[in-house]
Amino acid sequence: MKRNMLILAIAILASILPAQDKKKEVRDVKAIGCVRPGVEGGCLLLKTLDGKTTYNIFARPRPEAGIVISIEGTDFRGVTSCMEGIPLMVTKWEATGEKCKE
């Protein structure tokens, strides 16, 4: 019984205390895709042209939906309410001149 309590106490402490060596590595991302509005208001998505990846993009200035853009960015750090795609902070984007198909 005492052993079970000790294991429970360690598990609780491990979940409360900050991780020391678990710093998340920031990835650099480059992609080309179609800009679409997200389901949640104000959310903007980029679906890659190969259809394999969807990013929840944060970009300034904000690209318009319905166009194809190329982007460079890094992992978004923070909370997002968009609930779709991989959050990505766009550091640079450029329109390709193409419109999205579909």
Query: What is the mean pLDDT, run by run of 10 residues, along the chain of 102 residues?
Result: 59 53 72 96 95 95 97 92 94 97 77
Beta strands in 1-102 (DSSP E): 28-37, 44-48, 54-58, 67-75, 86-99
* 47-to-9, 34, 58 alpha-carbon distances in Å: 44, 5, 14
Query: Which domain does 84 fall in, by range?
Result: 26-99
28 by Cβ neighbours in 10 Å (0-12 / 13-18 / 19+) ranks as exposed
Which two tokens mark 38?
Answer: 């997200």
The answer to the question of residue 91 being in a domain is: yes
Phi/psi at 57 (nearest 5 deg)? -100, 145
The partner residues of 31 in beta bridges, in order of sequence, read 71
CATH number at 52 reads 2.40.50.140
pLDDT of residue 58: 95
Which two tokens mark 9?
Answer: 């106490």
Domain count, the chain: 1
pLDDT of residue 93: 97
The answer to the question of residue 38 being in a domain is: yes
The answer to the question of residue 17 being in a domain is: no
pLDDT of residue 26: 73
pLDDT of residue 79: 87
The answer to the question of residue 19 being in a domain is: no
pLDDT of residue 101: 87
